[in-house]
């Protein structure tokens, strides 16, 4: 079992190291990390910080994909959460006793809670459509993907809301113990999830629902509740990612916040070795996948290639990964490397 | 005695109802869409002056010609049980290649048009090949195709390229009068004519050719289609090829419409196309639906936009919210129909 796990993660780890090596080869200062302004500073730290929202969304997406689903509404949910938080915090410069201070429209904890709660509700809505109404996941979440950006723009009134409130910026660009604060959020979510999955039967249930929903229902697994739960969790993750993004850029744009993040998240999950056909999943793999995407983006920028080519490179990576996961392709290539139990879940 | 009679009455009821209902049920989603369209058009005519005019109706075709064309292609893909997310970016790539070749390299439009059509068709065929041959998921393959086509646009140029070629301008500005009653005249663009032609051809292909029947069969059950000896592989590759061709043609019409090539053209159009197909009554599970319904799906999206622009007080983002709500209602309807047809048997 342990060997298999190692095997599953071998490819993502190798890909990540190759990308890091390429970066290091072309950019001598890449691996250099130094202490500056009271925190660690360097390209690697930058990649980690920028990958944080994607890592969060990928965690939620992994569970959804493990249940044979997909959530293409996460980008819209990111936009909704960002817009709501930005609107509730707003921030106005008020002079109190001769000191200029920023005041929020609502207290910040309330704003954060509301944004994540609404995002979780969005996820719950998706989950209900999938589990209760019985829609295909891609269509159920397509509804929110189409309507969600409209709702986000409704909240921001079609404008880009700029946030003026110092404490809020700490989320996305602050540092704790010398590391970006966003990493601690990701780590907290990851550890909580990892414990829930390895220390209880939850992980097993999620897998069984993904492998055969009907059989797991007959076996007494509350398949519907689990499906609703993973979509709600995915929504909440997207909500937190929305907070990080809006805090990092100090504004919320209903139209462009989290644009294409759903595709990056699906890509990250796929790169991490989780099959889109559901069943077995790897949280660590998805985290690695998110880091691979961010490192790739960084490499493209630092190599001086026009950033627009990013899309072509991503497409090539997706094609390569897909083909490697396809049993038919491996057969026809006849490289005859025995890979046990991979890609066998196909119905 | 009564106790004996009542069960037989109850038993005969469900048997009688489906036979009367079945014919209706087949067309029910389509009927719902068309009636909703008529209701919205009526409401618009009652509330807004100038709404009830032939030109307003024809503008739905002129402004959505490219959407009709690519939604028709999408209908075949969805009927066969797949999905094509690359349509919007194939449109963008077509506008970009056309603009670049015509403006920057001085090619003749008559050489460019067949070339871009062939290119889109080949793009679709390649996606279909990957999906069929290697059993890859259509969602992911066409997603990568979407990245690829948009990325290729930027490789050609990051900025928008305006087209000043006389042939393109002439085609773009030509209006063919179709209605003349006294003062009221209405005309239609060449793009809209192409869209109508594509629609008619697609209806013929879907209902009167072996390929069309194979598409329905594959979408209904791929396994059964294989057992029936239908050319499943060819059909699967065929629908994606057809969708690629339709996207390229939509791109050509889009180029006439916008007179420019740009990598950000038609962003998110794939969602509109899928929404139009669903609202038009095609089941996303494949095998059930009509090309004709897709036309009304597109017209519905068009009339929502027209209503919002006639109103003037509603902001543009309401379009998205209303389209999302419509999608929800129609998906729900589909589920209800599916549940109802499943029960009697």
Task: State the pLDDT at residue B17.
Answer: 47
Is A146's CB within 8 Å of B320's CB? yes
Q: What band does B24 get if pLDDT is binned at 50, 70 and 90?
A: low
Least trusted range by pLDDT, from A31-40, A146-155, B47-56, B85-94: A31-40
- What sign has the CA pseudo-torsion A237, A239, A244, A248? positive
Contact B150 A133 (CB under 8 A): no
Look at residue B1 in the predicted model and tell me its pLDDT: 40
Asked whether the beta carbons of residue A142 and residue B133 sit closer than 8 angstroms, the reply is no
User: Is residue A347, in this structure, part of any structural domain at all?
Assistant: no
Asked if residue A109 belongs to a domain, the reply is yes
Residue B151 has its nearest CB partner, among A145, A276, A311, at A311
Residue of A nearest to B89 (CA): A311
Cα end-to-end span (Å), chain B: 29
Cα separation, A329 vs A343, in Å, equals: 11
For A76-103, write each residue's pLDDT tens digit: 899 999 888 888 887 666 666 666 666 6
pLDDT at residue number B318: 82
Q: Which residues of B touch A323 (CB under 8 A)?
A: 130, 134, 136
A46 to chain B nearest CA, in Å?
Answer: 25
**Measured distance CA(B140)–CA(B78) in Å, rounded:** 15
Are the beta carbons of A323 and B134 separated by less than 8 Å? Answer: yes
**A214 in a structural domain:** yes
**Is the minimum CB–CB distance between A347 and chain B shorter than 8 Å?**
no
Whether pLDDT at B44 is above 50: yes
Model confidence at B10, pLDDT cuts 50, 70, 90, reads very low
DSSP state string for A235-248: HHHHHHHHHHHHHH
CA B205, B96, B121 angle in degrees (round to 5)?
A: 25
pLDDT value at position B197? Answer: 93
CA angle, corner B270, sides to B267 and B276, nearest 5? 125
Q: Which residues of A touch B137 (CB under 8 A)?
A: 276-277
What one-character DSSP code corresponds to residue A143?
H
3-state secondary structure of B186: strand
Question: In chain A, what residues touch B317 (CB-CB under 8 Å)?
Answer: 149-150, 153-154, 158, 254
The better pLDDT of the pair B99, B285 is held by B99
| Residues 95-154 of chain A whose Cβ lies under 8 A from any Cβ of chain B | 129, 133-136, 138-140, 142-151, 153-154
CB contact under 8 A, A149 and B320: yes
Which of the residue ranges B227-241, B259-273, B326-340 has the most confident prediction, judged by mean pLDDT? B227-241
Distance CA B235, CA B189 (A): 33
Collect the ranges in chain A with pLDDT lower than 70. Answer: 1-8, 38, 91-103, 307, 325, 334-347
**B1 vs chain A: nearest CA distance in angstroms?**
42
Nearest neighbour of B271 by CB, restricted to A146, A254, A318:
A146
Contact assignment for B320 to A70 by CB distance below 8 Å: no
User: Looking at the 3D structure of chain A, how many domains does it have?
Assistant: 1
Q: Which residue has the higher pLDDT, B14 or B341?
A: B341
Q: Is domain B29-342 annotated with CATH 1.20.120?
A: no
In a domain, A320, yes or no: no
Give the tokens for residue B12: 């005969």
Nearest by CB: B139 against A135, A138, A309:
A138
What's the pLDDT score for residue B95? Answer: 92
Q: Which residue does chain B place closest to A151, by CA atoms?
A: B321
pLDDT > 50? residue B52: yes
Least confident of A9-18, B3-12, B42-51, B201-210: B3-12
Residues of A in contact with B297 (CB under 8 A): none
Q: Is A176 helix (H, G, I), strand (E, B) or coil?
A: strand
Minimum-distance CB partner of B324 among A146, A313, A318: A146
Q: Is the CB of B151 less than 8 angstroms away from the CB of A319? A: no
pLDDT digits over A110-145, tens only? 888 888 999 999 999 999 988 888 788 888 888 888
A124-to-A118, A128, A131, A230 alpha-carbon distances in Å = 9, 6, 10, 9
Which token pair is A16? 């990540």
| Pairing assessment for the beta strands A160-162 and A99-103 based on DSSP bridges | unpaired
Residues B289-314: what's their mean pLDDT?
A: 86
Would the pLDDT of B66 be above 50?
Answer: yes
Q: What is the Cα–Cα distance from B98 to B256, expressed in whole angstroms?
A: 10
Whether the pLDDT of residue B200 is over 90: the answer is yes
What is the span of the domain harbouring residue A245?
Answer: 48-271
Tokens linked to B274: 């899928």
Residue A344 lies in a domain: no
Please give the full DSSP string across A55-123, using - where no structure is assigned: HHHHHHHHHHHHTT---TTHHHHHHHHHHHHHHHH--EEEEETTEEEEE-SS-HHHHHHHHHHHHHHHH
* A272 touches B at CB < 8 Å: no
Specify whether the CB–CB gap between A176 and A264 falls below 8 A: no
pLDDT at B7 over 50: no
Shortest Cα distance from A99 to chain B (angstroms)? 40
φ, ψ for residue A344, nearest 5 deg: -100, 0
DSSP-assigned letters across all residues of B265-290: TTTTHHHHHHHHHHHTT--TTSS---
Contact of B289 with B75, CB cutoff 8 Å:
yes
Domain range summary for chain B, segments of one domain joined by +: 29-342
Selected residue of A65, A135, A139 to mutate for chain B interface (largest B Cβ count, 10 A): A139
Kindly compute the dihedral angle of the four CA atoms of residues A258, B81, B273, A313, in this order, to the nearest 10 degrees: 40
Cβ <8 Å between B155 and A147: no
CA distance B283 to B288: 5
C-alpha span between B232 and B211 (Å, rounded): 10
Burial class (CB in 10 A: 0-12, 13-18, 19+), A226: buried
Residue A64 is assigned to a structural domain of this protein = yes
Q: For residue A314, list chain B residues with Cβ-Cβ distance below 8 A.
A: 144, 147, 151
Torsion over CA of A203, A205, A210 and A213, rounded to 10 degrees?
Answer: -170
Domain-located, residue A120: yes
Is A335 among the domain residues?
no
ipTM of the complex: 0.74
- Position B11 scores a pLDDT of 43
Tokens 């061709």 found at: B245
Residues found in chain B: 345
C-alpha to C-alpha distance for A137 and A72, rounded to whole angstroms = 9
A327: nearest CA partner in chain B: B134
Q: Which residues pair with B260 in a beta bridge?
A: B162
Give A128's contacts in chain B (Cβ within 8 Å).
none
Does A138 sit within 8 Å of B158, measured CB to CB? no
pTM of the model: 0.81
Q: Cβ–Cβ of B134/A135 closer than 8 Å?
A: no
Across the interface, which of B150, B271, B335 has its CB nearest the CB of A133?
A: B335
Rounded to 10°, the helix B210-220/B232-258 angle is 110
Tell me whether A257 touches chain B (CB under 8 Å): no
CB contact under 8 A, B324 and A133: no
């Amino acid at each position: 079992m342990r060997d298999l796990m190692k095997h599953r993660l071998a490819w993502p780890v190798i890909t990540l190291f190759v990308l890091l090596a390429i970066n290091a080869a072309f950019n001598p200062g890449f691996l250099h990390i130094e202490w500056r302004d009271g925190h660690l500073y360097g390209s690697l730290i930058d990649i980690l910080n920028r990958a944080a929202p994607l890592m969060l969304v990928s965690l939620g997406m992994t569970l959804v994909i493990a249940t044979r689903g997909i959530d293409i509404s996460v980008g819209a949910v990111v936009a909704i959460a960002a817009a709501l938080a930005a609107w509730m915090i707003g921030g106005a410069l008020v002079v109190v006793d001769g000191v200029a201070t920023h005041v929020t429209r609502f207290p910040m904890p309330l704003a954060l809670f509301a944004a994540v709660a609404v995002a979780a509700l969005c996820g719950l809505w998706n989950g209900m459509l999938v589990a209760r109404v019985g829609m295909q996941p891609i269509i159920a979440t397509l509804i929110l993907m189409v309507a969600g950006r409209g709702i986000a723009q409704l909240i921001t009134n079609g404008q880009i809301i700029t946030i003026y409130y110092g404490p809020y910026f700490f989320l996305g660009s602050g540092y704790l113990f010398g590391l970006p604060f966003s990493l601690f959020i990701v780590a907290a979510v990851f550890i909580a999830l990892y414990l829930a999955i390895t220390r209880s039967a939850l992980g097993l249930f999620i897998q069984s629902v993904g492998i055969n929903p009907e059989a797991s229902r007959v076996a007494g697994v509350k398949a519907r509740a689990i499906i609703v739960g993973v979509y709600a969790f995915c929504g909440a993750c997207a909500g937190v990612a929305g907070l990080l993004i809006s805090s990092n850029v100090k504004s919320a744009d209903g139209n462009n916040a989290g644009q294409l993040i759903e595709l990056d998240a699906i890509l990250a999950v796929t790169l991490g070795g989780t099959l889109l056909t559901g069943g077995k999943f790897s949280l660590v793999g998805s985290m690695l996948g998110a880091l691979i995407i961010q490192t790739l983006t960084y490499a493209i920028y630092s190599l001086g290639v026009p950033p627009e080519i990013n899309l072509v490179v991503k497409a090539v990576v997706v094609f390569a990964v897909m083909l490697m996961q396809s049993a038919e392709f491996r057969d026809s290539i006849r490289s005859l490397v025995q890979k046990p139990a991979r890609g066998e879940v196909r119905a | 005695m009564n106790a004996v009679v009542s069960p037989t009455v109850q038993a005969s009821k469900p048997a009688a109802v489906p036979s009367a209902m079945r014919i209706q049920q087949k067309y029910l989603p389509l009927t719902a869409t068309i009636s909703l369209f008529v209701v919205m058009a009526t409401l618009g005519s009652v509330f807004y002056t100038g709404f009830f005019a032939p030109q307003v109706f024809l503008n739905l075709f002129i402004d959505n010609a490219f959407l009709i064309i690519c939604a028709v292609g999408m209908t075949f893909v969805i009927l066969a049980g797949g999905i094509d997310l690359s349509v919007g970016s194939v449109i963008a790539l077509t506008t970009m290649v056309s603009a670049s070749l015509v403006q920057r390299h001085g090619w003749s439009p008559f050489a460019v048009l067949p070339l871009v059509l062939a290119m889109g068709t080949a793009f679709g065929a390649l996606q279909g090949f990957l999906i069929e041959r290697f059993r890859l998921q259509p969602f992911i393959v066409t997603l990568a195709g979407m990245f690829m086509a948009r990325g290729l646009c930027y490789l050609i140029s990051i900025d928008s390229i305006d087209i000043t070629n006389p042939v393109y301008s002439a085609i773009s500005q030509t209006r063919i009068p179709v209605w003349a009653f006294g003062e009221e005249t209405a005309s239609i663009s060449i793009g809209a004519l192409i869209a109508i032609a594509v629609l008619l051809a697609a209806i013929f292909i879907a209902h009167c050719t072996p390929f069309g029947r194979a598409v329905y069969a594959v979408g209904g059950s791929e396994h059964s289609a294989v057992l029936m000896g239908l050319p499943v592989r060819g059909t699967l590759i065929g629908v994606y090829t057809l969708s690629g061709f339709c996207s390229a043609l939509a791109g050509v019409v889009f180029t006439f419409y916008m007179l420019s090539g740009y990598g950000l053209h038609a962003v998110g159009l794939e969602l509109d196309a899928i929404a139009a197909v669903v609202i038009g009554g095609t089941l996303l599970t494949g095998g059930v639906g009509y090309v004709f319904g897709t036309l009304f799906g597109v017209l519905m999206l068009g009339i929502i936009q027209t209503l919002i622009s006639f109103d003037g007080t509603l902001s543009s983002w309401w379009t998205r919210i209303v389209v999302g709500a419509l999608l929800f209602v129609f998906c729900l309807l589909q589920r209800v129909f599916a549940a109802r047809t499943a029960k009697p048997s």
